[in-house]
């Protein structure tokens, strides 16, 4: 199960992580977010031990989203060594785009 983040846990779970981290910014009313949820769950299983999968409920963490310049949903940010390496945003994100981004982040 993906780790639910908030402003208090973001630094430790993401910025201080030794493994690559996928942060899924989503909302309970966001249809594209909900459509990609099974993909995120599959990614979490497939990359277990190589990638930490986390989620941020944007509606409950507005200040964190504003600080990270998350302007729309869904947004996926991949971190490696605490540094943002890839950002995907918008309702037209495809499963293939997300998987390709993860492959690049995990192998870099």
Closest CA to 77 of 45, 30, 40, 34: 40
Query: pLDDT at position 13, please?
Result: 98
Query: pLDDT at position 1, please?
Result: 83
pTM of the model: 0.96
Domain that holds residue 85: 3-107
Q: Could you state, in chain order, the average pLDDT of each consecutive group of 10 residues for the chain (108 residues)?
A: 95 96 97 96 96 98 98 97 96 95 86
Report d(CA 51, CA 67) in Å as an integer: 24
Catalytic residues: 30, 33
Query: pLDDT at position 70, please?
Result: 98
Query: pLDDT at position 108, please?
Result: 66
Query: pLDDT at position 107, please?
Result: 79
Tally the domains of the chain.
1
Count of beta carbons in the 10 Å neighbourhood of residue 45: 8
Query: pLDDT at position 34, please?
Result: 96
CATH number at residue 24: 3.40.30.10
Report d(CA 8, CA 30) in Å as an integer: 24
Report d(CA 68, CA 19) in Å as an integer: 20
């Amino acid at each position: 199960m993906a780790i639910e983040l908030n402003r208090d846990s973001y630094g430790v779970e993401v910025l201080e992580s030794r493994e690559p981290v996928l942060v899924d910014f989503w909302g309970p009313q966001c249809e594209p977010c909900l459509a990609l949820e099974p993909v995120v769950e599959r990614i979490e299983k497939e990359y277990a031990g190589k990638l930490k999968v986390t989620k941020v409920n944007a509606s409950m963490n507005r200040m964190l989203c504003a600080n990270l310049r998350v302007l729309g949903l869904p947004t996926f940010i991949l971190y490696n060594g605490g540094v943002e390496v890839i950002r995907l945003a918008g309702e037209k994100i495809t499963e293939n785009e997300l998987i390709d981004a993860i492959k690049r982040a995990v192998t870099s």
